[in-house]
Amino acid sequence: MTSVLICGGAGYIGAHMLKMLALQGYDVVVFDNLSTGHRAAVRWGKLVEGDILDPSALERLFATNRFDVVIHFCALSLVGESVRDPYNYYRNNVAGTLNLLEAMRRARVGKLVFSSTASVYGIPRDDGRLDELHPTIPINPYGVSKLMVERVLQDAAHAYGLRSVALRYFNAAGADPEGDIGESHVPETHLIPNVLRAALGVGDGALQVFGDDYDTRDGTCVRDYVHVNDLASAHLHAIHFLEKNPGAHCFNLGSGKGATVLEIIAATREVTGRTIPFTRMPRREGDPAMLVADTRRAEAGLGWQPVFSDIRDIIETAWRWHCSPHY
């Protein structure tokens, strides 16, 4: 039986990964400090509380468990916060990852699937459709920290033979279709859950739409939304990929489609049957008009394709969770 360590497995994407692996017969251990994750989300594996910033905790983890592969979700990921407190982001996302990689090397664990981000690209050129050959010029410390780790993984492949896949997410969305787990952040910064909160009449204020004068079909920003279970499925494909492919690799993960902010609001209104009030605000600095994934490399290299192709289906799974969250 393949044994998998999920660092950050109590978080949003990590918990969906945990469920998928466990139901497919993998032996799974979650390592999480529960700073943003939820104990109640770890329903299908063993939880070991600890922090990647604590080398001694990692040493104990690898000394008492055998792992074939590590999936690494332990990152701080709020762009604005990274600008305000870059030291914290470099400490956690870069230094913490180095701690993990060193512990893996001592334990002779040679495969890693890394949660990266489309933020490594920065401002898109041309039409906003991004492939893996697009220049990587991140514009915030969060994106820089992820790109730093990708470079470390390339060097580790050369020096130590570490096999790795870095998965560059676009906008993770949706929830477990069975309603067991879902998205629960404090604060919540993602568009779809905030639109759903507006539909439920909860939250700290009116939903805000930043910018309605972009060169897009309705003037609002276009983003690529990919269902969280499709992201988990890509990690599973990456585990299989690493069995046969040495080196360090990167793949975009998205739906390959874009939806505007107003289209998300309209689709949510259709799914929920609720009125969704919002306030139009000026553009935010650094928000590109369009960010959409070119996923051809993931389709060819990993054999992966997203199952959830309709944004309404993605929103419906999230709505089911937000109506009766378990944590």
Q: Which residues contact 205 (CB under 8 A, 6 or more apart)?
A: none
Question: SS3 for 51?
Answer: coil
Q: 241 burial class (0-12, 13-18, 19+ CB within 10 angstroms)?
A: buried
- The pLDDT tens digits of the residues spanning 235-272 come to 999 999 999 999 999 999 999 999 999 999 999 999 99
Query: What pTM was computed for the model?
Result: 0.95
- Is the pLDDT score of 158 beyond 80? yes
SS3 state of residue 261: helix
Asked if residue 58 lies in contact with residue 41, where contact means CB atoms within 8 angstroms, the answer is: no
**pLDDT tens digit sequence for 100-152:** 999 999 999 999 999 999 999 999 987 778 999 999 999 999 999 999 999 99
- The structural domains of the chain, with segments of one domain joined by +, span 3-173+225-254, 191-223+257-297+306-323
Amino acid in position 144: V
Q: Exactly one of 12, 121, 142, 214 is catalytic; which is it? A: 142
| Domain 3-173+225-254: top CATH class | alpha beta
Contact indicator for 241, 302 with CB cutoff of 8 Å: yes
Strand blocks (E) in the chain: 3-7, 27-32, 46-49, 69-72, 111-117, 129-130, 163-169, 171-173, 207-210, 222-223, 225-227, 248-253, 259-260, 278-281, 290-293
Neighbouring-strand partners of residue 70: 5, 112
Q: Where are the beta strands (DSSP E) in 118-214?
A: 129-130, 163-169, 171-173, 207-210
Q: Report the CATH fold assignment for 191-223+257-297+306-323.
A: UDP-galactose 4-epimerase; domain 1 (3.90.25)
Residue 27: CA atoms inside 13 Å, Cβ hemisphere, count? 8
pLDDT for 199-235, tens place per residue?
998 866 679 999 999 999 999 999 999 999 999 999 9
Return the biggest CA–CA distance within the chain: 57
Predicted confidence at residue 303, as pLDDT, reads 97
Q: Please, what's the b/e burial string for 81-96 (b: 16 or more CB within 10 A of its CB; e: otherwise)?
A: bbeeeeeebbebbbeb
Catalytic residue at 225? Answer: no
